């Protein structure tokens, strides 16, 4: 018997995140571990008069495929995917792999070729209605240092938060960021400044990611100066990076260090755009309070922010282009060392809590 909470989650995805309409063709793509949710989504599409399609993935098969894949092969795969996408109106992507490090031993050059080949595919997806979410698995629970049952309860709770309420509460922050020029971030090991002038601020409240909860923009590309020390671990390309420290001059990363310095530099040298930032965002989800080594969760931690080496989003475009988009998280709650965010010389958030009256609705106790 399927967990009844999955039916509610499927309904939220189809009705709120995707706003599925009768006759729309919907792709439901996920790894086989998420089969129960995929069944609920397929049945939910039929109930709404939509037309579901499905595709199941497997990270073990993907690794075997990539180990000796050629660029020509990857380009042809991407072309097939483009043809399929042309006929779709919406898509649900469910992450549910057994091993987040399954691709750790795939040669970096092949991973880079795969990213480059798939850039047109991702750009086309962004023109559709889409939503991405994490399905609870034992491996994800282990990475989060939680029991399987506790992690499952957590995932379903955080996925079912009142995102419409959160969306409305974000409006004052969007308005403030939209008229802000200079940003300063101060934390232990961190003192960094940049401009966000003229770049849109965008709400993320359950329309594209589940869980969700952030407002993002991008630094003016050449305006970033100073050093930032990220205190949340980050799992990227199969490697867990700890205490990533980046120093910027005129927007460019000129010094970088972490527990895996050679691997860090290899990522940052993927292309020139990876040495610049493509995103700045504030995390706002009241139920996410600690790192889980899963970007989909960690970038939304209440009282956090993230900065992103690599490409910018089309909605908040600072002109930076890269095949990489790597969200690195700095938590500023007291348990993580505290910190401050200043907009145009005015203190906006201290130790993870907003101090301006118009923004207090985004503090955790007011979103629960």
Q: Please report the beta strands in 161-223, taking only residues with DSSP state E, as ranges in sequence order.
A: 182-187, 190-195, 202-204, 209-210, 214-217
Mark whether 127 and 190 lie in a shared domain.
no
How large a percentage of the chain has pLDDT more than 70?
100
Mark whether 153 and 171 lie in a shared domain.
no
Domain end residue (candidates: 127, 160, 193): 160
Mark whether 123 and 168 lie in a shared domain.
no
- Read off the pLDDT of each residue in 342-346 and give the average, rounded to a whole number: 98
Q: How many angstroms separate the CA atoms of 162 and 164, rounded?
A: 6
**Res. 2 pLDDT band, cuts 50 70 90:** confident
At 65 the pLDDT is 95
At 238 the pLDDT is 82
How large a percentage of the chain has pLDDT more than 90?
75
Closest CA to 150 of 162, 138, 166, 164: 138
**Structure tokens given for 96:** 């549910």
Cis preceding linkage at 211, omega within 30:
yes
Helices (H) and strands (E) in the chain, counts: 12, 20
Mark whether 144 and 10 lie in a shared domain.
yes
Angle at 332 between CA 365 and CA 185, to 5 degrees: 120
- Read off the pLDDT of each residue in 24-31 and give the average, rounded to a whole number: 95
Q: Which residues pair with 27 in a beta bridge?
A: 53, 91
At 328 the pLDDT is 98
**Res. 174 pLDDT band, cuts 50 70 90:** very high
**Res. 264 pLDDT band, cuts 50 70 90:** very high
Phi, psi (deg, nearest 5) at residue 329? -110, 135
Q: How many angstroms separate the CA atoms of 115 and 106, rounded?
A: 13
Mark whether 234 and 292 lie in a shared domain.
yes
At 286 the pLDDT is 96
Mark whether 299 and 328 lie in a shared domain.
yes
CATH number for the domain spanning 82: value is 3.40.1830.10
Mark whether 15 and 68 lie in a shared domain.
yes
- pLDDT of 205 higher than 90: yes
Domain end residue (candidates: 133, 160, 187): 160
Mark whether 294 and 353 lie in a shared domain.
yes
At 277 the pLDDT is 98
Each residue of 82-99: pLDDT tens digit?
Answer: 988 888 999 999 988 788
Dihedral of CA 164/168/171/172: which sign? negative
Domain of 102, in residue numbers: 4-160
By three-state DSSP, how is residue 30 classified? Answer: strand
Q: Can you list the pairs that 291-294 forms with residues at least 24 positions away whose Cβ atoms lie under 8 Å?
A: 291/232, 291/233, 291/329, 291/331, 292/140, 292/143, 292/144, 293/100, 293/143, 293/144, 293/233, 293/234, 293/235, 293/240, 294/100, 294/134, 294/140, 294/143, 294/144, 294/235
Mark whether 319 and 302 lie in a shared domain.
yes
Mark whether 182 and 330 lie in a shared domain.
yes
**Res. 158 pLDDT band, cuts 50 70 90:** confident
Domain end residue (candidates: 108, 132, 160): 160
Q: How many C-beta neighbours within 10 Å does residue 345 have?
A: 8
Q: How many angstroms separate the CA atoms of 149 and 138, rounded?
A: 9
Mark whether 248 and 294 lie in a shared domain.
yes
Mark whether 169 and 125 lie in a shared domain.
no
Phi, psi (deg, nearest 5) at residue 340? -135, 150
Domain count for the chain, please give it.
Answer: 2
């Amino acid at each position: 018997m399927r967990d009844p909470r999955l039916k509610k989650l499927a309904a939220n995805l189809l009705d709120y995140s995707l706003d599925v309409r009768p006759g729309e063709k919907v792709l439901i793509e996920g790894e086989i571990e998420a089969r129960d949710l995929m069944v609920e989504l397929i049945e939910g599409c039929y109930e709404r008069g939509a037309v579901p399609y499905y595709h199941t993935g497997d990270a073990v098969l993907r690794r075997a495929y990539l180990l000796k894949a050629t660029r020509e092969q990857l380009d042809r795969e991407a072309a097939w995917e483009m043809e399929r996408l042309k006929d779709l109106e919406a898509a649900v992507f469910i992450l549910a792999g057994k091993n987040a490090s399954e691709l750790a031993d795939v040669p970096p050059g092949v991973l880079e070729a795969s990213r480059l080949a798939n850039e047109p595919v991702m750009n086309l997806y962004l023109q559709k209605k889409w939503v991405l979410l994490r399905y609870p698995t034992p491996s994800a629970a282990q990475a989060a240092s939680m029991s399987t049952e506790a992690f499952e309860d957590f995932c379903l709770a955080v996925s079912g938060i009142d995102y419409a309420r959160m969306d409305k509460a974000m409006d004052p922050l969007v308005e403030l960021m939209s008229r802000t020029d200079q940003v300063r971030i101060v934390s232990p090991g961190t003192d960094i400044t940049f401009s966000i002038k003229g770049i849109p601020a965008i709400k993320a409240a359950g329309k594209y990611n589940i869980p969700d909860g952030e407002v993002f923009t991008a630094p003016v590309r050449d305006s970033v100066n100073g050093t930032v020390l990220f205190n949340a671990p980050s799992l990227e390309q199969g490697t867990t990076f700890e205490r990533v420290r980046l120093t910027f001059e005129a927007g460019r990363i000129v010094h970088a260090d972490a527990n895996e310095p050679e691997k860090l530099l290899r990522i940052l040298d993927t292309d020139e755009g990876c040495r610049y930032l493509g995103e700045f965002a504030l995390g706002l989800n009241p139920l996410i309070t600690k790192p889980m080594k899963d970007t989909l969760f960690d970038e939304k931690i209440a009282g956090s922010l993230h900065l992103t080496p690599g490409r910018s989003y089309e909605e908040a475009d600072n002109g930076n282009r890269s095949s990489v988009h790597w969200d690195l998280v700095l938590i500023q709650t007291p348990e993580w060392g505290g910190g401050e965010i200043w907009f145009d010389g005015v203190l906006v958030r201290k130790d993870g809590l907003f101090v301006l009256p118009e923004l207090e609705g985004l503090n955790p106790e007011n979103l629960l």
